[in-house]
Amino acid sequence: MTAFLAIVKLTIRSAVRSHIFRLLLILLLLSVFLLPFTLMGDGTPKGDVQIFLQYCLGFAGFILCLSSVWLACSEVSSDVETAQIHMIVVKPVRRAVVLLGKYTGVVLIHLFLLLIAATAFYAFLSFRLASSEFSEQDRLLLNEQVLTARALYSPVRPDFNALAQAELDRRIKDAQEHGQNVSQYQDDQTRQEAFLELRKEMIATYGLTSEGETVFWQFEGLPKDLTDDDIVFLRYTVYVNRYYTQDQNSVRGHWIFAANYVRQDDLGGETVVSDLMALPEEDILTSSQNEMAVPIRNSYFIYDGKAEVGFLNMDKNTAELNFEEGKGPFLLIREAGFFSNYCRAILVLAIGILSVTLLASAVAACMSLPIAIFFSAAYMLVGGLANYLVTSIPDALDFQAEYTGTFGYRFGDLLLNLIVPLQDFFVTGHLANGELVSFPFIGMLFAKDFVLRMLPVFLLGAWIYTRRELALVSKRG
Amino acid sequence: MKNRFTLFFALLAGTLILLVTNVFVQKRMAAIVQEDKLVDENFAADGTPPVVAFSTMALGGFRGLIADILWIRAGDLQQKGKYYELVQLSDWILKLQPKFSAAASHMGWNMAYNVSVACKRPEDRWRWVRRGIQLMQDAITMNPNDPNVYHELAWIYQHKLGNVLDDAQRYYKETMARQLIFIYGKHYPDWEAWAASPATEEALRELFPAGHPAWTAILEYNQGDLARLFGEFQLNGGLPKELKDKLSPEDAIVLDYYFRRKWLKKEWNVDPETILAVDKRYGGLDWLLPESYGIYWAYVGMQRSPGKSLPLTRLTLQSLVASFNYGRMLLPKENEISDFFLLVPNTGVIDAARELYKEVLTSQEYAHGPFEALYENFLIDSVVTLYTYSQKEQAAKLYQELRNDTKNGNSKKMTLDQFVLNEWEDDIVSSDFKQIGNELEGLLFTSCLLIGYGDRDAAADHLALALRVYNGYKNKHEGYDRVSLPPFNEMKARTAQAIIENYPPEIANRLRAELEEDLKKQEQAAAEASASGAGQEAAGQ
C-alpha cells in the first residue's frame, strides 16, 4: 500500500511539472474565467443559462479528458522510454501496482480539477442568477424548464413486430378466403420481406393524423405520488408530413387528455370515471420543439401511474400531421432539484475521466508516448464519428436504402458496440434542458462503458505491461 | 568556358527582364485589386479583426473543418427545435469563415425568418430578427464589398420588418422605432448637425483640448472617463444633468451628438453622413421605419459594389415604393412611441422613386422587365395619394406625366378630379355592399385618425373623398334598401366614437375637440339657415 501511495504521489508531482499539463490547465482556467463572459445565448435568461451550462461544463470536461489522456500516456510510457521504470521495478513492487498507481494519480488530479471547475461554474451561475433582474415570466421559465431536474417519460411503444405479424396473417387469411393465390408467402424470404415492409409502414404511420382525426399515446410508470401542485409538462415536435420536407408551417389542433379519476359515489363506494378533456384549439408551429405545462389537475389526468394524451388535428390546409416516432410527445415531471442534477452531470463527467484515463493508461502500457496519444485520440474521434454515422443516416435499414448508407450505419453500429464514444459522458445537454440525469442511467453508463468496455482493455494493458520486456525499449531509446 | 559565360549572362538578362516586367505587372495587378475591390478597404485600414486573425492563424486549414462541424450541429439543433445555441454557433462560423458571405447570409436570414416565427411571443420574435440583423451587420464588416450581404440585410428590413407578412410586424415596427427614438432623442433629428459633429474620440479631443471648458467639466465630472460617460449616456438617453449644467449649451450639443452618433453606429451600424446622403438622394425618409434602413443598406451596397448592384437597385425601388405608401410614422404624442402609431404615405420620396424608375427603364439590364407597367401603376397610385393628401398641384404634375410618358397615358383624357374619382369609382363598381362599407369605413377611419394626429388638411381630403365615394355608391344603388348605407354623418360619428373610446387621450381629445367644433359650426349654420328662412318668410308676408 505504501508503494502504491508513493507512486500516486510521484505521479501527481510529475504531472504538475509537465508543460503540456500546464498548458491544458491554463486552457481550463480560461474556460472557467473567460468563457462565461464571451458566450452568447439567444438573449433570453433561459437561453443564456442553457448555453452557459452546455458550453462551460462541456468545454471544461473536454479539456480535462484531453489532459487526462495526455498525462496518462506521458506518465506511463515516458518512464519506460527514459528507463526510469528500472528504478521502480527492481523494488518489490508489482508492475500492475505501478500501472494502477499511475492511473490513480492521474485520475485524482483531474477529479480535483473537475471539482474546482464545477464549483467555480456553479458559484458563477448562482451569482449571476442572484444579481440579475429577470421578469417574473422569465424567472418562472428558468425555474420550471432549466433549473430543475425533470424525468422524461416516453409513450408506450406499440409492439410493432406483433402488430405487423398479426396484420400479415390477417391479410394472408383474407386472401385465402377470397380464393387468391398466396403460395409466394410460403417462401420464408418473401414472407419476411412482407413482414418488414408492413412493420415499416406501421412505424411510419404511427403518429400520423389527418384532418379531423385523433391520435392517442399511452404513458405508464409515472410517479404515483404526484400532487396537484406538481407541474407536468408536455413536450412535442410535430411535422407536416416528414421532418425534412419543405411543408412546415403553423397548424391548428387540440390537445386532449384522457381523465381517469376516482369518484366517491353516494353509497360511499369508489368508481373510476373516464372522461376526455380537450384544451382549446391552438396554433402550433411545426418542426419546432414545443413545451407546455399541462393545465389539468394531475389527480384527473394521471391515474395509477398511467396517463393518455391525444391530439386532434383541426388543420384544414394541411394533408397530414406527423408526430414522428422518438420525437414525442413526452411528459416531463420534476424529480429532483437543479443542484442534485448538476452534481449528477459532474459525476458522469468524472466517469468519463476515469474511463479515458483507463484507456490511455492501458494503451501507454504497451506503446510509445506518441503512438499511445495518437491511438487514444483516434479512439475518441472514431467513437464520435460512429455516433454521427448511426444518427445521421435516416432509413438506413430500408429495403430501398443505398448500399453505402446501410454499410455506414452497420459499421457505425459495430463501432459503437466496440468503442466508447466520448460524448456519452457529456450530459450537459440534459442539464441545460432541465432533464434528469438519473442514477439508473449513471449506473448503466458506468457498467457499460467503464466496467464492460474500458476495464477489460485496461486489464489487457496491465497484463501486457507485466509481460513486456522493458529493457529492450530502454535500449532502443 | 565561353559557353558557361554565355549561359550565365543569358540567365542574368532573363532574370532582369522578368524583374522589370514584374514591376509593370505588379502595378497593373495592384490597380486591378484596387479597382475591383479585391481587398477590403476597412481591413486594410483597421487591420483584420483580432478574433478572425487569431482563428485564421491558429487553426489554419482546420477552421473550415471546424466550421463544417459547427454548421452540422446548428442544423441538427434547429431540426430538433433547440435554438439557444444558434447565435453562438453562427458567430463562431462567421469568425471561422469570415469571407463565406453566402453562409453568413443564410444564417442571418434563417434567424430573422425561420427561427423568429418559431416563437410565439412577439418580443422573442423581435429578438431573433435583431440577432439576424446583427449577424448580417457583422458579415458586412467582414465583406464590405459583397453586394449579396447588403441585399440580404436590406431585404430583412424591407420585407421582414417593413412588410405586413408577420403576425408581429406592428410590434417590430414599434420596437424598432422605440429603440431608435431613444438614440435619436427626437423623431426627426438634425442629420446635418449630427454629420458635422466629431465622429471619433480623437476628433472630440481636438475640439475639446486640455484646458477647454468642456473638457474641464468632463474632468471634474468623472476624471475624463469618456467610456463611462458613454455608458451613462446610453442608460439615460442623454447627458447626465450634473454634467450638462456645467457645459455651455453649444458644447453640450456637440457632446450630445458625438455620443448619439457613436451609439447609433454601435447599435445599428449606420452613420449620419450616409443617412444625409441617402436623404439627399431619395428625399426625406422617416428614419424610424425599417424601409429607410432597407434603402440605407441598399445604397451603401451600391456604393461599395458598382456594376454589380442590379438586385440592390431593384430592392431600393421596392423600398421606395413601400416608403411612399407607408413611409411616415404619425405618433399620438410628439417624440413618444406608442403602439397607436399610424403609417401614412411619405410623398417626399415620389421624385426619387420616379427618377429611379426612369433610370431603370432606360438601362439595358432591365430592358425586358415588367418595369413599364410597374411605373405606370406607381404613377397612378402617386396621383391618387397626392390628391388624397392635399397635394393637388403635385398630383396634377404627375398626372400630366402619366398622360405623356406612359403607354396607356393617351387614353386618360379626364381632368385630375375625374381621374381620381374614377380610380375610386373603379373600386366602387367592382365592390359589393360589404366591401364598399369597409372601404368607406377605412377612409372615415383614416380621416378621423388624421384629425387625431393633427393633420387637418389630409383629414379633410380623406373626408371629402369618402363623401364622394358614398354619394357615388348611393346614386348607383338608389332604391335598393337591402344594400343601402346608413347616413354619412352617422357613419362618421360612429367611427369617431370608436377612436375616442379606444385610442390614447391625446388623439381622443383632439378628435373630440374637432367634432365639437364641427357640431358648433353645424348648429350655427342650421341657426343661420333657419334665421334666414324666417327672414324670408317675414319678407314674404
Instruction: Answer for the pair B280, B130: CB distance below 8 angstroms, yes or no.
Output: no
B222 Cα to chain A: minimum distance (Å) = 26
Asked if the model's pLDDT at residue B69 lies above 80, the reply is: yes
Closest chain B CA to residue A137: B121
CATH, domain range B46-143: 1.25.40
Q: What's the confidence (pLDDT) of residue B78?
A: 80
* Residue B127 touches partner A, C-beta closer than 8 Å: yes
Q: Which residue in the set B85, B118, B131 is minimally distant from A288, CB to CB? A: B118
Distance CA B276, CA A109 (A): 63
CB-count exposure of residue B242 (10 Å: 0-12, 13-18, 19+): exposed
Q: Is the dihedral of CA B481, B484, B486, B489 positive or negative?
A: negative
Q: Residue count of chain B, please give it.
A: 541
Say yes or no for a CB contact (<8 Å) between B127 and A42.
Answer: yes
Instruction: Answer for the pair A259, A301: CB distance below 8 angstroms, yes or no.
Output: yes
Distances (CA, A) of A359 to A377, A380, B144, B360: 10, 10, 50, 69
CB-count exposure of residue A33 (10 Å: 0-12, 13-18, 19+): exposed
Q: Which residue in the set B91, B117, B131 is minimally distant from A43, CB to CB? A: B131
Q: What's the confidence (pLDDT) of residue B229?
A: 93
B85 Cα to chain A: minimum distance (Å) = 6
Closest chain A CA to residue B129: A42
Using a CB-CB distance cutoff of 8 angstroms, which residues of chain B are in contact with residue A250?
117
Distances (CA, A) of B458 to A473, B19, B449, B493: 97, 73, 10, 18
Size of interface A-B (CB pairs under 8 A): 49
The reported pTM is: 0.75
Distance CA B426, CA B472 (A): 11
Say yes or no for a CB contact (<8 Å) between A42 and B117.
Answer: no
Q: What's the confidence (pLDDT) of residue A477?
A: 47
Q: Is the dihedral of CA B482, B485, B490, B494 positive or negative?
A: positive
Strand partners, A259: A275
C-alpha dihedral over B322, B326, B328, B329, to 10 degrees? -130
Q: Which of A30, A52, A57 is nearest to A41 (CA)?
A: A52
Is the preceding omega at residue A329 within 30 degrees of 0, hence cis? yes
* Residue B445 touches partner A, C-beta closer than 8 Å: no
Instruction: Answer for the pair B281, B271: CB distance below 8 angstroms, yes or no.
Output: no
Q: Whose grid coordinates read 495526455?
A: A70
Asked if the model's pLDDT at residue B283 lies above 80, the reply is: yes
Say yes or no for a CB contact (<8 Å) between B117 and A43.
Answer: no
A212 Cα to chain B: minimum distance (Å) = 24
B119 Cα to chain A: minimum distance (Å) = 8
Say yes or no for a CB contact (<8 Å) between B79 and A243.
Answer: yes
Say yes or no for a CB contact (<8 Å) between A43 and B87.
Answer: yes
Say yes or no for a CB contact (<8 Å) between A42 and B82.
Answer: no
Interface of A with B (CB under 8 A): 39-44, 46-47, 50-51, 54-55, 237, 243, 250, 285, 287-290, 432-433
Q: Which residue in the set B88, B118, B127 is minimally distant from A285, CB to CB? A: B118
Using a CB-CB distance cutoff of 8 angstroms, which residues of chain A are in contact with residue B91?
40
Most A CBs within 10 Å: which of B55, B88, B90, as the mutation test of the A interface?
B88
* Residue B496 touches partner A, C-beta closer than 8 Å: no
Q: What's the confidence (pLDDT) of residue A3?
A: 81
* Residue B131 touches partner A, C-beta closer than 8 Å: yes
Q: Which residue in the set B88, B118, B128 is minimally distant from A40, CB to CB? A: B88
DSSP string spanning B298-346? Answer: HHHHHHHSTTS-HHHHHHHHHHHHHHHHH-EEE-SBTTB--TT-EEE--
Q: What single letter denotes the amino acid at residue A187?
A: D
Q: What's the confidence (pLDDT) of residue A359?
A: 92
The three-point CA angle B479-B480-B481 to 5° equals 100
Q: Which residue in the set A41, A288, A290 is minimally distant from B84, CB to CB? A: A41
What does the block give as the cell for B531?
334665421
The count of C-alpha atoms lying within 13 angstroms of the C-alpha of B448, restricted to the half-sphere facing its C-beta, is 24
Asked if the model's pLDDT at residue B65 lies above 90, the reply is: no
| Selected residue with higher pLDDT from B394 and A356 | A356
| Selected residue with higher pLDDT from B59 and B172 | B172
Using a CB-CB distance cutoff of 8 angstroms, which residues of chain A are in contact with residue B88?
39-41, 51, 55
Q: Which residue in the set B81, B127, B130 is minimally distant from A289, CB to CB? A: B81
Q: Which of A220, A216, A234, A236 is nearest to A276 (CA)?
A: A216
Say yes or no for a CB contact (<8 Å) between B84 and A288.
Answer: no
Stated as kind and residue range, the H or E segment containing B225 is none
Distance CA B132, CA B109 (A): 6
Rg over CA atoms, chain B: 31
Domain residue spans in chain B? 46-143, 200-268, 431-528
Say yes or no for a CB contact (<8 Å) between B128 and A290.
Answer: no
Instruction: Answer for the pair A66, A24: CB distance below 8 angstroms, yes or no.
Output: yes
Sorted by sequence, the CB contacts under 8 Å of residue B90 that are 6+ apart come out as B74, B107, B108, B111, B135
Taking only the tens place, the pLDDT of each residue in B79-113 is: 777 788 888 899 889 988 888 889 999 999 999 99
Say yes or no for a CB contact (<8 Å) between A237 and B91.
Answer: no
Distance CA B465, CA B447 (A): 10
A289 Cα to chain B: minimum distance (Å) = 4
Using a CB-CB distance cutoff of 8 angstroms, which residues of chain A are in contact with residue B118?
285, 287-288
Q: Which residue in the set B79, B82, B127 is minimally distant from A43, CB to CB? A: B127
Cβ-defined contacts of A202-208 (< 8 Å, 24+) = A202/A158, A202/A160, A202/A163, A202/A164, A202/A167, A203/A160, A203/A325, A206/A158, A206/A160, A206/A325, A207/A322, A207/A323, A207/A324, A207/A325, A208/A320, A208/A321, A208/A322, A208/A323
Say yes or no for a CB contact (<8 Å) between B83 and A42.
Answer: yes
Most A CBs within 10 Å: which of B55, B66, B76, B85, as the mutation test of the A interface?
B85
A327 Cα to chain B: minimum distance (Å) = 9
Using a CB-CB distance cutoff of 8 angstroms, which residues of chain A are in contact with residue B81?
237, 287-290
Say yes or no for a CB contact (<8 Å) between B84 and A46.
Answer: yes
Say yes or no for a CB contact (<8 Å) between A44 and B124.
Answer: yes
Most B CBs within 10 Å: which of A27, A39, A40, as the mutation test of the B interface?
A40
Closest chain A CA to residue B167: A250
- Res. B380 pLDDT band, cuts 50 70 90: confident
Distance CA A275, CA A257 (A): 8
A322 Cα to chain B: minimum distance (Å) = 14
CB-count exposure of residue B488 (10 Å: 0-12, 13-18, 19+): middle
Say yes or no for a CB contact (<8 Å) between B131 and A55.
Answer: no
What is the crossing angle of helices B416-430 and B392-405, to 10°? 80
* Residue B68 touches partner A, C-beta closer than 8 Å: no
Using a CB-CB distance cutoff of 8 angstroms, which residues of chain A are in contact with residue B124?
44
Where helices occur in B36-49 by DSSP H, the ranges are 41-46
- A377-386, B34-43, B136-145: segment of lowest average pLDDT: B34-43
Q: What's the confidence (pLDDT) of residue A245?
A: 62
Asked if the model's pLDDT at residue B448 lies above 70, the reply is: yes
Say yes or no for a CB contact (<8 Å) between B88 and A289.
Answer: no
Using a CB-CB distance cutoff of 8 angstroms, which residues of chain A are in contact with residue B70?
none
Asked if the model's pLDDT at residue B510 lies above 90, the reply is: no
Distance CA A284, CA A295 (A): 17
Say yes or no for a CB contact (<8 Å) between B81 and A50.
Answer: no
Say yes or no for a CB contact (<8 Å) between B127 and A243.
Answer: no
Q: Which residue in the set B82, B128, B131 is minimally distant from A289, CB to CB? A: B82
Q: What is the mean pLDDT of each run of 10 residues along chain A (477 residues)?
A: 84 84 82 81 86 90 90 86 77 85 92 92 91 85 91 89 88 85 77 85 81 88 86 88 67 85 69 79 81 85 87 80 83 93 96 94 89 88 75 58 72 80 87 92 93 92 85 57
Stated as kind and residue range, the H or E segment containing A133 is none
- Which of the listed ranges A440-444, B32-36, B410-414 does the model predict with the highest average pLDDT? A440-444
- Res. B11 pLDDT band, cuts 50 70 90: very high
| Selected residue with higher pLDDT from A146 and B35 | A146
Using a CB-CB distance cutoff of 8 angstroms, which residues of chain B are in contact with residue A385?
none
Instruction: Answer for the pair B458, B389: CB distance below 8 angstroms, yes or no.
Output: yes
Question: How many other CB atoms sit within 10 Å of the CB of residue B215?
Answer: 17
Asked if the model's pLDDT at residue B185 lies above 60, the reply is: yes
